[in-house]
Amino acid sequence: MAVILARHSVTMHAMRIAVVLSATLACACGGSRHDAAVALPKPSRAAESRALFVEVSRVLLHPRCVNCHTPDESPRQGDQSVVHDPPIWRGTGHGVVGMQCSTCHQDKNAELARIPGAPGWKLAPLSMVWLGQTPHAICEQIKDKDRNGGRTLAEVHDHLAFDRLVGWGWAPGADRQPAPGTQQEVAAKFQAWIDSGAECP
Ligand code: HEC
Ligand code: HEC
């Protein structure tokens, strides 16, 4: 926090100088600290917020996440996000009659068979596509209640922090690479992003 504040005041200082240089408004620079605090910190706070979302999106765009947040009928698998083998269809998200996810995926990883598992294994809805999307597009989607499952940002945070399909990303079984960092770390960054104004990159 101290670092962020220090950075803010450097930016504010630079902006004051810029204002002085732009001449006519020089008198505004003598304004109280209070005026400056209200008028000036916004840009750097927004930049801070955008940078936080870019960091969060390194997790969201990881194969352990995008393999379920796909734009079509099929999940993906592996670090190259290749189409799921055997071929399956999203149906309700849980698959189709006769070929449900739970036919193969159990509530925990089946190590010998290499089948990943967690409670309620299913595809994310088509409104939550992340595979192949930019951080900007994912940010706009996550903020949109029509596309994020009707969640407030606090509720998206809780999903990110506690959901067990999300948690699977850090314990994916077999030789799969876990998502970067920890679930707690990405949830803390997401919270900091909300607190800094939830700006999209
Ligand atoms: C097994 C499939 C699966 C995996 C793997 C998965 N998700 Fe999801 N994800 C879902 C489903 C299903 C939903 C919709 C849940 C709902 O709306 O109740 C969802 C929704 C979400 C949401 C809700 C908000 C929104 O707008 O998208 C977040 C956040 C999320 N997932 C994060 C992640 C992260 C981070 C990872 C990787 C660490 C991940 N998911 C991996 C299936 C998955
Ligand atoms: C007929 C069995 C079967 C069915 C049905 C099935 N899967 Fe899979 N799935 C597998 C196997 C086996 C793997 C492991 C492939 C590997 O990594 O070798 C797998 C891997 C995956 C992965 C890859 C995880 C990763 O990051 O590598 C995802 C995601 C996935 N399945 C989602 C689903 C979803 C969602 C459904 C239902 C719509 C489903 N699967 C239905 C057998 C199945």
Over residues 1-55, the pLDDT tens digits come to 444 444 444 444 444 444 333 433 334 444 444 444 556 555 699 999 999 999 9
Give the model confidence (pLDDT) of 57-97 as tens digits: 999 999 999 999 999 999 999 999 999 999 999 999 999 99
Query: What is the Å distance from ligand 1's center to 129 Cα?
Result: 10
Which pLDDT belongs to residue 37?
52
Task: Check the CA dihedral 69-62-145-149 and report its sign.
Answer: positive
Residues 151 and 96 in one domain: yes
Number of domains in the chain: 2
Residue 125 near ligand 2, beta carbon < 6 Å: no
Residues 170 and 117 in one domain: yes
Residue 200 covered by a domain: no
Residues 150 and 61 in one domain: yes
| 76: enclosing H helix or E strand | strand 76-77
Residue 163 covered by a domain: yes
Residues 172 and 132 in one domain: yes
Query: What is the Å distance from ligand 1's center to 78 Cα?
Result: 17
Residue 201 covered by a domain: no
Q: Indicate the pTM of the whole model.
A: 0.85
Any long-range contacts for 181-185 (C-beta under 8 Å, 24+ apart)? 181/59
Residue 108 covered by a domain: yes
Looking at 40-54, 150-164, 177-191, which range is the least confident one?
40-54
Query: What is the Å distance from ligand 2's center to 180 Cα?
Result: 21
Ligand 2 probe mutation, 68, 70, 77, 100, most atoms within 8 A of CB: 77
Residues 50 and 28 in one domain: no
- Structural contact between residues 172 and 125, judged by C-beta atoms closer than 8 angstroms: no
For residue 118, the ligand 1 atom closest to its alpha carbon is 1
Which pLDDT belongs to residue 38?
57
For residue 95, the ligand 2 atom closest to its alpha carbon is 38
Residue 51 near ligand 2, beta carbon < 6 Å: no
Give the angle 17-22-28 at the CA atoms, nearest 5°: 70
The helix/strand/coil state of 193 is helix
Residues 15 and 91 in one domain: no
Residues 50 and 32 in one domain: no
Query: How confident is the model over 176-187, as a mean pLDDT?
Result: 98
Give the model confidence (pLDDT) of 92-142 as tens digits: 999 999 999 999 999 999 999 999 999 999 999 999 999 999 999 999 999
Which pLDDT belongs to residue 43?
62
Residue 85 covered by a domain: yes
Query: How confident is the model over 181-190, as a mean pLDDT?
Result: 98
Range of the domain at 149: 46-195
Ligand closest to 168 (CA) is 1
- Percent helix, strand, coil in the chain, to 5, is 50, 5, 45
Residues 7 and 92 in one domain: no
Ligand closest to 64 (CA) is 2
Residue 166 covered by a domain: yes
Alpha helices in the chain (DSSP H): 2-21, 33-39, 42-60, 63-66, 101-104, 135-143, 153-162, 164-168, 183-195
C-alpha 53/C-alpha 139 separation (Å) is: 7
- Average pLDDT of every residue of the chain: 86
CA 143, distance to chain mean position in Å, is 10
Ligand closest to 128 (CA) is 1
